[in-house]
Each structure stands twice: as C-alpha cells, then as structure tokens.
Chains A and B, each alone.
Chain A
Amino acid sequence: MIPAAFEYAVPRSLEDAVAVLADCEAGTAAILAGGMSLLPTMKLRLAAPALLVDIGRLRELAGISRASGRLRIGALTTHAELLAAPELAEWRVFAETAGVLGDPQVRNRGTFGGSLAQAHPAADWPAVFLALRGVACLRGSRGERSVRSEDFFTGVLTTAIAEGEILTHVTFPAGDGRSGAAYSKMRQQASGMALAGVAARITLDTAGRIEESTVGVTGIGGAPFRARSIEQRLSGLLPTPSILEESCADVPEADPTNDLHADADYRRQLLRVHATRALTRALERARSAIP
C-alpha cells in the first residue's frame, strides 16, 4: 500500500521534462502520467524509482486534433476523454474500447499514452493502436522521432520508447468512408484486464470486398501483436459470417500464456471468438460508413 520514498519533479514544459530526464542516471527515473499503472506497481513495491517526473500537468500533451488527413491524440488524453470525444465519431472503436477499459475512476486519470508506454500484456489500447496502424511520436534529448505501431511493442512490458524519451502523441489515419473498426474483449473476472482483446479494422473496396484488414491482439501473449494470418486470409474476399469465422480459426503467430485464468488452449479459443466478433462488428461499421 505504501510506495518507497522518491524524489518528485514537476517540469513546466515538454522541453523541461526532456531535460530533467536527460539529467538522470539510466533506470532511476520514471515518467508519471495518470499514475494508474505506475502508482499501483509502486504501492506493491514492484517498482521503486528514485525520481518521478510528473508530466501530468503538461496540457500541450493532451487533446485530440486533426491535421493533414490524420487524427492526433495527445499522450495525456485520458480514457474518459476518449470515451466521450466527438472528434473520434468516425472511429467508434475508441469509445467502445474506453468503455470496457477499467472503471470510471481509472478512466478519469489514466492516459492513452501511459497505456501504450506501459505495454501491459493485457491492456486494451495496444490492440487498437495496432489495428488502426497508429504512429507514435517520441521526444527525447536528441529530438523527435516516430515509430509505427507494428514496431512499437518489443516484448513483455517493453516498447520502442528509449530511456529519457517521452511519448508525446499518436497519429492515426482519419476515417475514409469505407472503413470500420471494432474492439471485442473478454475481461479477466478479477482484474478486469483483457483475457483476450481483439481490435479489428476493415476497409472495403467499391465492390464490397475486403481491401485491407488489420487485427490487433492483446491479452493472449506476453506482448500485443498483429494477427497477420487473419489479415492475409481475408484480403480480397467478399466477407460473409462464415468467412470471417473461418479466417479466425487458427492464428499460428499467437503464443498464448498459461495462467490461473486461462490456459493456452482457452486463450486460443478466446482469440478465435473475439477476433470473429470484432471483425463482424468492424465489417458492419465499414459498410455503414459507405455513404
């Protein structure tokens, strides 16, 4: 319940934050955003950073905007803001995901960027980030860089964010009038995290065939991943319920975890079921997006 002692810094700007981090010895500082992952970990003394750099007040990192055909979501945008954002009406998957993430209190503080940076194996946003092919924008003492979602998650609880770097925002392609996306999740009964979570995006061509699909998966293995086997199977097909179901029958790239709540077999089954459900809804939305 009680974290170990630490120093606390409140940078006034992004520059300032980057500078504070650059000054720290590797591995000693932690960025504090909403604190909904970091503080619980520290309270159980599973983490004990010597310095917390609280970026939570940097409003420049918050908010949703649109520029040159892309949506931009600031790292500090909270789950609650994503649940209610009118700017994201074209991607209902955001509200849908935020609605099944944690609880209202957690959503009021937890941030989109924090969730991606934490890269918890059972977190929800990573699946959406993958399915919508987002791009993460990072800022460090050596400047800015972007990382594509498929290169972002590098292992269990690890990402492409380097020591001293801050995730500032994520960009997504805006809706194109023929795409739809959806998220389907099975909650672990105790923690509420994803036992399996699948975000799927489908883009239809003019003939109603699947021009492209992307499927992001969380909860199944040690890190979120793209179910490329499903994407490949669906490419160019005229989708029917049974085609969607068959395309999810087997996902060889999944490497499911075994734990109290779900063994590997069961996780595979949940992946099949939720991939099918997410794709089915994504298809409906893609169809209804067509004017």
Chain B
Amino acid sequence: MRRDAPPDLIGARVPRVEDPRLLAGRGAYVDDLQLPGMLQLDILRSPHAHARICELDVSMARALPGVVAVYTGRDLAQFLKPVPSAGGMQGFNAPPHHVLAVDRVRFVGEGVAAVLAQDRYIARDARELINVTYDVLPAVTDPGVALTPQAPVLHDDIGSNRAFELRIGNDTQAALAASERIISGRFINQRVIPGPMETRGAVAHFEPWEGRLTVWLSTQAPHLMKREFARYLDFPEHRLRVVAPDVGGAFGAKNNPYAEELLAAALSLKHGVPLKWIEERSEHMLATSHARAQAVEVHAGVRADGTVQALHYRLTADMGAYYHAITHIGPMMTAALMTGAYRIAHAATDIISVFTNATPTDPYRGFGRAEATYFIERTMDLIARELGLDVLEVRRRNLIRPEEFPCTTPTGHVHESGNFQLCLDRALERFDYEGTRREQARLRAAGRYLGIGIATHAWRAGFPSVPGGKGYVTSGWEKSTVSIDAAGKIRVVIGTSPHGQGVVTTTAQIVAQQFGLLPQDVRVIHGDTDAVAQGNGTMGSRSLVVGGSATLLAAQQVRAKAIRLAAHLLQIDPRQVVLESACFRDAGNSQRGIALTEVAAHAFAGPRDLPDGMEPCLEAAVLFEPANFTTCFGTHVCAVEVDVQTGAAAIRRYIAIDDAGRAINPTLVEGQIHGGLAQGIGQALMEGASYDSAGQPLAASLLDYATPKASDLPHFEVELTETPSTVNPLGARGIGEAGAIGAPPAVVNAVLDALAPLGVRHLDMPLTPQRVWRAIQEARA
C-alpha cells in the first residue's frame, strides 16, 4: 500500500526547473565566461588528409602585435605527452596521438599549430600568418581499401591499418551450414557528425598562488575529465577543478578529453594566465569526433518460415586516424547487441577495426546500438523479402517473448526483462497496419509510392562497471548525496552532468516525492567537481537509470532517518509514522504530527537530543552500481512517400512506441525521443560525412552537411509503455537514445518498401534524393 505519496510526482509532467534562466538568455555556456587578462587560443589545422610537415614557419605570426605565443607540435612534444585514448584498455595498441601533429598529419583538421593572443580577432589573424609546407602523401579513407596491402599505412609502428580484431559470439559455422537457407547482405551505417549546436570550448585558469587549476569545459563528464586531465597534466587531482557549465548539447561527442582542451589547460599552467579556446563550427565538422562508420557483411541462416537459426557478421569499423576515448567500444557494442530483439541461437561477429585518414570516431547517441539495430532490422526486412513473407511476420516469429526473460544472447548480453510484443502491437494498432497496406496498394495503382517501415529495437543502457578496467569509462557507478537543511529544504548533489536531458527536474521529482515536497523545494547541484565530490557523467542513457537510482536510494535513506527522528520526537514507534506533504503524522492519532521543517531543524541539534546512536543532520550519500545493463526497447513504424521524379522521400507518418520502464516525467521522455528521432531521420535521409579519394571531406561545413531543419521533419506520434526494469530501484530503462536508434532502419525500410515495385532492392544511407533517384534509374535499366 502506498501511504506516503501525495502529490504524486513520479510520472508527473512537471515543467522543467532548468528553463527560466535559459529562456531569459541568462544561461552560462563556456564561451559566456570572461576572465580578466584572459588570452585566446586558436588552432591552425591541416588542409591535407595525409602529409609530412616539411616546413612550419610561425615567425610572422609571433611578430603580430597582440600575439603572446605560437606553438608547433614539436614545441609541445617537449613538455606534453600524447593525448590519452582508447581508454587505456589492455591489448589496445593505441598509436601516439600528439596534441598537435608532430611532423606528420593524418586527417584534414588535425591541429598543426596553436596561437595564443590577446583576443580572438588577433588570434585569427595570426593563424593566417603561419606558413606550412606539406609533402602530401597518399591518403586512404575507405576502411575496405585501408585493409589492402597497397594502402598507405597511417601508423608506421603498427605496420598496417588494422587497429584490432576481435570475435564476439558463439559458433555460427555449423549452424549456418545446417540452415535451410542462407541469406546474405551488406549494410553500411555511414559516418555522421553528432553536431551539438554548441561547439566545443574550454576556459582554463591556473592560479599559481593557490596552486589551483580550474577548467570550464563543454563536456558531458566533468568527473571523468578531471581524472583524465590530472593524469595527463601530472597535476594533483585534488587541486584540479573541472566545471561543466551549461552545455549546449553533446550527444556523445563531448566525452573525450580532446587535444585542444588538454592544451588549453597545459598552456594556462605554463603561462599562468586564464585562457579560452572556442571551436568554430567549420573546425567542429573536422576536429570533433565523428561517429558510426561501420559496415557489415551479413550471413543469416533461416528456415522457410522466417525463423533465424544463425547470424554471422563480418564488421568493419572505421576508427579514423587515431583512437579517441572509447572509439574501440563502438564495434564491440554492435557485436554484443547484434541479435536485436530476437531469439537467435547462434550468432557471432568478427570485428576488424581500421585506421583511416579521417576524423577519429567516438560515441554518438546510440553508440554501437544504433548500428546494431540498423543491421539487424535491415536484415529482417531482407529475410522477409527473400522468403516472400511479410516483414511483420518475420519479426513476430523471432521476437523474444515476455516469458523468456532474462534472456542471454549468444554474444553474452543479458536482456534483463521486457515486453517487446507490447510495443509492436500498440504501434501496429495506432498505425492501422492493415489499413495502411490497403492505402499503399491504392496509391500504387495511381502511380504514387508509399512505403511502410518497421523497426522493433532492443538494446541496452546504463552500463555497469567493466571488471578489471582501470582507464576511461570503465566505472558504471554513480553517486548522489541528499541533504536536508535546517529549514526543511533539500539539496541534492549528483555525479551525472545533464545538459538538456532535464535531470535536474527529474531528480527534484524523485526526491520531493519521498518527502511530499514540491520540486521547487529541491535544489540540484551538478557539473562542478568542487561542489560534487564524486561522479562519472552523462552518457549512454545512464543519468536517470544509474544516477537517478542513486538519488532515490539516498533520498530513501534520508527519509528513513527523518522518520526515525520524527518518531523519537512524537514518542511513537517509527512504524507508526506516516510521511505526507512534508509532515510526519501518527498513524494511530491523526491529530498528532510534526512538520518536516521542525524535524529538520531538530536534526542539527547535539547528539544528545537525537535517538540513540543517531548522528546529527539529515543527509545520505549513496553510490549505485547497476548489476547489469537495462534492456531498452520499442517499435517504430513509419510511412514514407517517395517522389519518383526527384527521389525525394517525405515522411507521412511516424509512430514511436518506446518503453521507458518507469517514466518519471513523460514530457521529458517524449522530448528525448523527439530529439533522437530527428537525429535518426537525419542519418537516414540527409547526413553523411563522406570523403573524396584524396581524403578531403565533402561535407565540411553546414553548407554541405545537412542536419534536419523544422521543415524537414514530420509531426511525431510518440507513446510510452511502462514495463519496469529489474536492474534498478526506479524501474527506469533509459530512453535518451531510442529515437536515434529506431529511426534509421524504420525510415530506410519504408523507403525500400515504397520502391519495391520499381525493383529497387538496396540503398545505403543517407537516402538523399539523388541517391534514391539514381537507384530507381538503375532498377529500371
């Protein structure tokens, strides 16, 4: 019986407490910070994909009035280490990645020289005055070509472009051989650019007399950065403060301790002055992590009824020129989740990871899981088509059933709980699948091409710690501290670092709920390592699942203590105490009670006024470590119409039914899904960071790299199901990535369904009008 929960804040559509200052233009993003005497850092970048630096003349730049210093890669290598990468994982031969290139550049956009000047206008002018002569080397940006013996090798010490090879899964050879039929395909999940609206930036301020270094960083993970920066700079961690101020989006791309950020900190230490580095958008397109960039060759062993008996992938993953923080995790995650929402007895992926003359890749919303989902959902459609079955039929036949959880996949992932059918059924009902199929037939007869696409996705979020890991992001715990002040108001200190997810509001809801308070009675503090002793960060849909669980447990502990204290003051048994609307009442005598404010004030009294053994203060700190990932799932269905004259695809309807587990604030959950859908649709139809054969990026600015605008997107129909997760006390599943994961296969499947009568069988993303039109012409020919 719930006897203590008015007003019910869990599941309430509470407006965000984060909003007013952001709306009034009073946010504080890193570029908004101005410190007296602050210098500006500016980076000159390589225009070549692969070249030797023959001459680097910075003398003119140094001579420009207002310039304080100019550094080359060689200058810096004398006092700075290569930047940390690949999470310091064992067995990963990370090639040295210098802060600025030393003698050789390996991708367009790699830093070559750094200018420190009085303001950004001068710094920019000085950049123009640096003279570099390059000896251009052959470049390779296609991972397939990079593996051939003739390909130019990026890292001489490694000797080839193979970054690492790994097999994940069980035996598939025998199972494939025994299958009734083998269906094969090749799918590419193209290289894209996460592209938050705020580019990267840092302000570093070393105060020599305090021996203190503060770095304001546009990051998702100030605590991780503090640990990495301290180690990199050999600077005592207890004197280092990292602050994530307001962060204008990240999406996985602000997880990495970047060269420029480390350089800003190092130069502030060296010069003893504050300095700022703000990335321009055109630099961002080249120098901030790219993502995805995976391709698979698929072999699926199937029965005629559509049952998948065995699945094998050969996965090629493009690392780019160097490893960033967790570049290598992407393909492993893809492999681990290759079976998607399905029960497939035999499955394995052989991973080959490759270095290319391209921007390093790293996480992007749905890291590894968006790729896995795309591959399996495209495979399901391919199987249906090859067997002449309905795409729905093939999915239903293989879907893991509710009674099969927990369910261990051949790649070692455990789906803890779920109800995949529920989302599928609801999606089809809302979409009117049969009715839309009829509509499709009618339109076809009239020469119009409507297609239906389905994706039933299942993946994981809220990672647990990696056993034996010691480097970057191997810790899956999160910490929260809840404390009540003498006036009965609450402060929560959280280790995650939200930047748009609304976690300040959901945290306030979770905590206020425990005490019958209002969200505005709770203040949430995050993002400043001086104010928050320990934490990790916001990534992989973990803020609520892991961080929120720590918060809930801490709040519950404080609540239990407050109840004991109230019972002591009321002189009744704690089990008699009912906490309602910030008031503790005697269940046996409703007239008797004591307000939370009073109990709180009393909690600060000396120990002698407290129950035996009770310490003063109402405060608890809880570190929550999930035992397993949560399973996240949903079904997306969309209808897309293709203009066969121009190849333009227009989404007519998009329905997303996603399971949030327990949704603390459905409005925020829906907002997360909308944003992810926009990115997923962007990947499906518009976005692609491609290179020409010389390694020049073809979409190096927003003039060529298309991200969705309002007019490019449909009105989304989003609905939530709530199947509580079993691996955290909130029952939450992690929803931040669902849209970006579900949309690409749903949209691509729909376009191919639309074009099926024209004989188009395959398309690689992005399905730009030109690509679609070309495919139609080829099919007709």
Query: Touching in the complex, A and B, CB below 8 A?
Result: yes
The interface of chain A, by Cβ under 8 A from chain B, is 1-2, 4-5, 44-45, 186, 188-191, 260-263, 265-266, 269-270, 273
**Known: A189-B768, A190-B706, A266-B774. Contact between A1 and B646, CB under 8 A?**
no
B702 A190 Cβ-Cβ under 8 A: yes
Complex A-B: 22 CB contacts under 8 Å: A1-B124, A2-B124, A2-B125, A186-B646, A186-B769, A188-B706, A189-B686, A189-B769, A190-B686, A190-B699, A190-B702, A190-B703, A191-B704, A260-B698, A260-B699, A261-B704, A263-B770, A265-B777, A266-B769, A269-B645, A273-B645, A273-B646
Collect the chain A residues with CB atoms within 8 Å of residue B282's CB: 44
Compute how far the CA of A64 lies from the CA of B479 in the bound complex, rounded to whole angstroms: 66
Compute how far the CA of A123 lies from the CA of B698 in the bound complex, rounded to whole angstroms: 21
Closest residue of chain A to B766 (Cβ to Cβ) is A189
Collect the chain A residues with CB atoms within 8 Å of residue B647's CB: 266
Q: Could you tell me which residues of chain B, from 232 to 289, have a CB within 8 Å of some CB in chain A?
A: 280-282
A5 B704 Cβ-Cβ under 8 A: no
Compute how far the CA of A2 lies from the CA of B281 in the bound complex, rounded to whole angstroms: 12
A2 B120 Cβ-Cβ under 8 A: yes
Closest residue of chain A to B278 (Cβ to Cβ) is A1
Closest residue of chain B to A192 (Cβ to Cβ) is B709
* B121 close to A (CB within 8 Å): yes
Compute how far the CA of A2 lies from the CA of B125 in the bound complex, rounded to whole angstroms: 9
Collect the chain A residues with CB atoms within 8 Å of residue B774's CB: 265-266
Compute how far the CA of A261 lies from the CA of B770 in the bound complex, rounded to whole angstroms: 7
Compute how far the CA of A188 lies from the CA of B121 in the bound complex, rounded to whole angstroms: 32
A4 B770 Cβ-Cβ under 8 A: no
Compute how far the CA of A291 lies from the CA of B105 in the bound complex, rounded to whole angstroms: 70
Compute how far the CA of A5 lies from the CA of B686 in the bound complex, rounded to whole angstroms: 37
Interface centre among A5, A188, A189, A191 (most CB of B within 10 A): A189
Compute how far the CA of A75 lies from the CA of B121 in the bound complex, rounded to whole angstroms: 32
* B433 close to A (CB within 8 Å): no
Q: Could you tell me which residues of chain B, from 133 to 161, have a CB within 8 Å of some CB in chain A?
A: none
8 tightest Cβ-Cβ pairs between the two chains A and B: A189-B706, A190-B706, A2-B124, A191-B703, A260-B698, A266-B770, A273-B645, A1-B280
Please tell me which one of the listed residues A4, A5, A189, A260 contacts residue B690 in the complex, with CB atoms under 8 A apart.
A260
**Known: A260-B690, A261-B768. Contact between A190 and B128, CB under 8 A?**
no
Collect the chain A residues with CB atoms within 8 Å of residue B604's CB: none
Collect the chain A residues with CB atoms within 8 Å of residue B125's CB: 2, 4-5
Compute how far the CA of A269 lies from the CA of B770 in the bound complex, rounded to whole angstroms: 10
* B29 close to A (CB within 8 Å): no
Q: Could you tell me which residues of chain B, from 456 to 513, have a CB within 8 Å of some CB in chain A?
A: none
CB distance from A151 to the nearest CB of B (A): 30
B280 A190 Cβ-Cβ under 8 A: no
* B71 close to A (CB within 8 Å): no
Collect the chain A residues with CB atoms within 8 Å of residue B280's CB: 1
B646 A269 Cβ-Cβ under 8 A: yes
B699 A189 Cβ-Cβ under 8 A: no
Closest residue of chain A to B282 (Cβ to Cβ) is A44
* B164 close to A (CB within 8 Å): no
Compute how far the CA of A173 lies from the CA of B193 in the bound complex, rounded to whole angstroms: 48
Q: A190-B702, A191-B703, A260-B690 are in contact. List 4 more A-B contacts (CB 8 A).
A: A45-B128, A190-B686, A190-B707, A261-B768
Compute how far the CA of A266 lies from the CA of B712 in the bound complex, rounded to whole angstroms: 21
Interface centre among B647, B698, B704 (most CB of A within 10 A): B704
1/0 contact trace for B660-702 toward A, CB 8 Å?
A: 0000000000000000000000000010001000000011001
1/0 contact trace for B353-379 toward A, CB 8 Å?
A: 000000000000000000000000000
* B773 close to A (CB within 8 Å): yes
CB distance from B692 to the nearest CB of A (A): 9
Compute how far the CA of A265 lies from the CA of B646 in the bound complex, rounded to whole angstroms: 12
* B716 close to A (CB within 8 Å): no
CB distance from B286 to the nearest CB of A (A): 14
Collect the chain B residues with CB atoms within 8 Å of residue A270's CB: 646
CB distance from A241 to the nearest CB of B (A): 14
CB distance from B751 to the nearest CB of A (A): 15
CB distance from B778 to the nearest CB of A (A): 11
Closest residue of chain A to B643 (Cβ to Cβ) is A273
Collect the chain B residues with CB atoms within 8 Å of residue A2's CB: 120-121, 124-125
Collect the chain B residues with CB atoms within 8 Å of residue A188's CB: 706
Please tell me which one of the listed residues B686, B702, B773 contacts residue A266 in the complex, with CB atoms under 8 A apart.
B773
